[in-house]
A and B are shown apart, each in its own frame.
Chain A
Amino acid sequence: MKKKLSFILLLILILPLLASCHGKQKSIGFAVPDHFDDQAPVEIVFWAKNDTNRNQVAVYQKAIEGFQTLYPNVTVNIRLYTDYGRIYNDVITNISTNTTPNVCITYPDHIATYLTGADTVAPLDDLMADPRFGLGGSEVRFDAPKTEEIVPEFLQECRIGEHTYAMPYMRSTEALYVNEDYVKKLGYELPEIMTWDFIWEVSEKAMEQDADGVFKVNGQKVMIPFIYKSTDNMMISMLKQLDAPYSTDDGEILIFNDTTKEVLQEIYSHGKSRAFSTFGISSYPGNFLNAGQCIFAIDSTAGATWMGSDAPMLDIHEEQVVPFHTKVMPIPQFDPEHPKMISQGPSVCVFNKQNDQEVLASWLFVQYLLTNEIQMGYAETEGYLPVTLKAQNSAEYQDYLSRKGEDNKEHYAVKIEASELLMKYTADTFVTPVFNGSASLRSAAGQLIENTVKGARRKQEMNDAFIDKLFSEVSSLYRLDQIGKAAKGSGEEAGVKEAKELPTESVALLIIVPCVWLLIGAYKLWNKKKTNIHH
């Protein structure tokens, strides 16, 4: 009996220890090997994202061919995606089976989640600085950029906590594509930088219809003056411009505040009048813009080839296209003197593997993606901007920019103006804090707008009850309450600041151990007393 009790007590002591070991491994990072073995075959898997654009696919293929020529023992197998969300989900699925790709196009938000598994993603700091295989290193077989030749703002975006976990690959921002003819027809002149007040005023003015329901400005029965593609970005940008809370760096959720409420009330009024809509509710802004059914379309600069009546990419029938002059502008601002716009676009990370030669080959391939040829090749497929100053300042790229408008394909004016927009405003771009759950928070930000506009269209009343319900539903849908809590307890895993509170297992252990000793003591006393009685 005594032995049995001792065993139970021992088990009570050990179990929490075992539990606390489960699911968390100590990070060992990645040690750069002392040489690159160019004899042993190495196969690396590259998950890439393209914008359903065969020119981009061609650039990836060119990159692979070029790299394999320089490193004949390395084979790069590409898997193409057209959706970041699918890549993210597939990576998450494959982390558990240790079958992640070697190299992956991704967003830092996603990497923060990948990092919940120890050593899943290789930190690149040592690789970048290595004199032989680092950026522009002595044993790199091509003209790679040096660290200082990468746009500092873009490189900084790839830092999570104390480490760099990705390289920027392409960068874009959002642009406001305007049917300038309609703005003038409504009696307005475009300012250099548009304000939110201006865009709302003109949008409402454009809603005037004749007795037959035909919109006066375009003579059609369809007109949505203002369509925003990414409502996630819309809410994030508006809050940033207003210097309003969104989240802390370590993941505390602050989005449900009075400024958000005011922003939503404004959006509601224009959703109700139908002067404003979203991609989620109506469709691609570019389709309406090109059909003369929209005046202000906000979409990525990486979607510039779809914008404008001369756009090389077209998603509507040619006979539906209405000719107009397209003006490319920064997104609307609350303070035009201090514009703020989001920085977005793909980055590329390297997954950690047991075979360090695989990781090294992957890193070299990532560097190859940063060479001028690949950077310019990919950037010119859309309104992207190369992420290296080396490429941006090259004579070839400058020549490309100078030929703006020469044709409506390679030198399509709207596309090049979109790239120039980001180049001009790089210092005014921002990114949101990255933590485990930041991707969900982004989605929630957009959902607030989507639900508000839907509510307005469905004649729901805007009042405190509407807002309270909306905040509650969105918070629940994206589990933001749990993210907020997790942020306080899992900062280390997320690669962010250390946790301020002890993990649950540790707390349990601290409670159980003294209890066990008390039980042992009590048992001893009871036993002694029992022995005395017997004696």
Chain B
Amino acid sequence: MKNKKLLIALVAILAVAVLVLSSCQKTEEKAKEAAAAVEEKAEEVKEEVKEEAAEAAEKVEEKVEEVKEEAAAAVDTAKEEVAEAAEKAEEKVEEVKEEVKEEAAEVAEKVEEAVDTAKEEAAAAVETAKEEVAEAAEKVEEKVEDVKEEAAEAVAAATVMSHDEYVKADLDTPVCIEAYVQANQSWWEGKIKLYLQDENGAYFAYDLPCTEEDAAKLAVPGTKVRINGMKAEWSGEVEIIDATYEILEGSFIAEPADVTDLFGKDELINHMNEKIAVKDAKVAASKVDGKDEEFAFLYNWDGSGTPGSDLYFNVEIGGQTYTFTVESYLCGQDTDVYKAVEGLKVGDTIDMEGFLYWYNGANPHITSVTVK
């Protein structure tokens, strides 16, 4: 039994050895094959390397050629740039030359201008001097004129004007008149307003400064006065303002001028401030804003006043309506004319006397009314 096992083992070992030998033989063959393949491969690689090396060498050569070409181009470009720069430099030099020439020309021109300016200034200075002399002469002439005017004004102030001269005198110039008081508006704050007239025409002295004592004298109708003042116009009313006065000997009461037919005509203004009469005027209705009621007269122009205020009433003359006034400072509440107007009725026919005051047109201040 034991030998059987041993035999089997030996057989097995032999078998394994055979197998191993067989295997080694195969391996050796494979190794030989592999070595051959390696060699083949090596040959291939060698060929490839050779080819690549050849290609690389070719590329290097090409690159060298390129670089050479670029270098040559760069050299050309540089040459061109240098040439251009040289050209520009030449141009610049030319430009600078031109500029220098121009500047030199300008400077020369300026010098010439300066010379001209100097000449002109000198001429202007001469001219100015001449003008100044002329102006000075003119001023002297003006001064002489002023002095003459002042002298004339002084003469005017000292010389009594006729009514015609007074009418012709400019506004804002001194005037001197002698006339007779016809009426006055009450003395107030040391001043009085006088309606004055002489045989040739009328005047109005506005706010003549005077004492209360003198006011009483001036208030006497007919009193002769000399008035020195300035001619002025206020809302169309020509008057003497900033005046002084001297009471003189003499007396004159003017007769009222009938101006009925002059209403609505330009000639009416020639009678400004005169004592006037208006005949056969018809009392027309006055109205108050917002009321239908008709009034023969109003206290104040719009009816806002009370007894004692100025009276306003309308009259028809020649088909036209005009507004007349009872000026309360001329004829107060207690006067006959004031009461008479308060008693008027629309449609009454009346004769009136008064003074032809002016306020943006004729605005007679009435001193008497007679109902026909």
- Tell me the A residues contacting B by CB distance below 8 Å: 50, 52-54, 56-57, 79-80, 82, 85, 89, 281-284, 287, 315-317, 454, 457-459
Contacts and interface: CB of A to CB of B under 8 A. Distances in A.
Interface of B: 146, 149, 172-173, 189, 230, 232, 234-235, 242, 288-289, 300-306, 309, 360-361
26 contacts: A52-B300, A52-B301, A52-B302, A52-B304, A53-B302, A54-B288, A54-B289, A54-B300, A54-B302, A54-B303, A79-B306, A80-B304, A82-B300, A82-B304, A85-B189, A281-B234, A282-B235, A283-B234, A283-B235, A283-B360, A284-B235, A287-B360, A316-B360, A317-B361, A454-B242, A457-B172
Contacts of A53: 302, 304
A50 B360 contact: no
Contacts of A317: 360-361
A412 B78 CA distance: 91
B301 A281 contact: no
Given A317-B360, A454-B242, A457-B172, A282 B304 contact: no
A459 B235 contact: no
Contact of B173 (A82, A282, A458): A458
Nearest to B302: A54
B172 A57 contact: no
A316 B360 CA distance: 6
Nearest to A313: B302
A459 B289 contact: no
B360 A315 contact: yes
Contact of B232 (A281, A284, A287): A281
A287 B359 CA distance: 11
A89 B189 CA distance: 9
Contacts of A82: 300, 304-305, 309
Nearest to B174: A458
A417 to B, nearest CB: 22
Contacts of A89: 189
Contacts of B149: 459
B306 A80 contact: yes
A377 B230 CA distance: 45
A346 to B, nearest CB: 16
A50 B300 CA distance: 12
A65 B242 CA distance: 46
A289 B233 CA distance: 18
A444 to B, nearest CB: 15
A56 B288 CA distance: 14
Contacts of A458: 172-173, 230
B304 A57 contact: yes
A92 B303 CA distance: 28
Please name the 7 residue pairs, one residue from A and one from B, whose CB atoms are nearest each other, closest first: A54-B304, A283-B235, A457-B172, A57-B304, A54-B302, A458-B172, A54-B303
Contacts of A457: 172
B320 to A, nearest CB: 12
A374 B141 CA distance: 66
Given A317-B360, A458-B173, A459-B146, A56 B235 contact: no
A316 B173 CA distance: 27
A89 B306 CA distance: 19
A458 B156 CA distance: 14
Contact of A80 (B289, B301, B305): B305
A514 B84 CA distance: 119
A283 B172 CA distance: 15
Nearest to A451: B242
Contacts of A282: 234-235
A477 to B, nearest CB: 10
A54 B306 CA distance: 10
Nearest to A79: B306
Nearest to B288: A54
Nearest to B237: A283
Given A317-B360, A457-B172, A287 B235 contact: yes
Contact of B304 (A56, A281, A287, A316): A56
Contacts of A79: 306
Contacts of B300: 52, 54, 82
Contacts of B361: 317
Residue from B300, B301, B304 whose CB has the most chain A CB atoms within 10 Å: B304
Nearest to A78: B306
A57 B304 CA distance: 6
Contacts of B172: 454, 457-458
Contacts of B360: 283, 287, 315-317
Nearest to B361: A317
Contacts of A283: 234-235, 360
A50 B302 CA distance: 12
A63 to B, nearest CB: 15
Residue from A54, A317, A454, A458 whose CB has the most chain B CB atoms within 10 Å: A54
A79 B304 CA distance: 12
A284 B172 CA distance: 19
Given A52-B300, A56-B304, A281-B234, 17 more contacts: A52-B301, A54-B289, A54-B300, A54-B303, A80-B304, A80-B305, A80-B306, A80-B309, A82-B309, A85-B189, A282-B234, A282-B235, A283-B235, A287-B235, A317-B361, A454-B242, A457-B172
A57 B234 CA distance: 29
Contacts of A54: 288-289, 300, 302-304
A166 B258 CA distance: 54
A453 to B, nearest CB: 10
A50 B304 contact: yes
Contacts of A56: 304
A485 B303 CA distance: 46
Contacts of A287: 235, 360
A50 B304 CA distance: 8
B358 to A, nearest CB: 11
B255 to A, nearest CB: 31
A52 B309 CA distance: 10
B314 to A, nearest CB: 14
Contacts of A50: 304
A82 B328 CA distance: 13
Nearest to B232: A281
A86 to B, nearest CB: 9
Contacts of B306: 79-80
A176 to B, nearest CB: 22
Nearest to B172: A457
Contacts of B288: 54
Contacts of A454: 172, 230, 242
B266 to A, nearest CB: 15
Residue from B172, B173, B230, B288 whose CB has the most chain A CB atoms within 10 Å: B172
Nearest to B150: A459
Contacts of B302: 52-54
Contacts of B289: 54
A73 B302 CA distance: 33
Contacts of A80: 304-306, 309
A316 B232 CA distance: 20
A89 B172 CA distance: 32
A458 B174 CA distance: 9
A284 B301 CA distance: 16
B174 to A, nearest CB: 8
Contacts of B189: 85, 89
A415 to B, nearest CB: 15
A56 B304 CA distance: 8
Nearest to A283: B235
B129 to A, nearest CB: 26
Nearest to A279: B234
A52 B361 CA distance: 20
A82 B302 CA distance: 13
A458 B303 CA distance: 40
Nearest to B305: A80
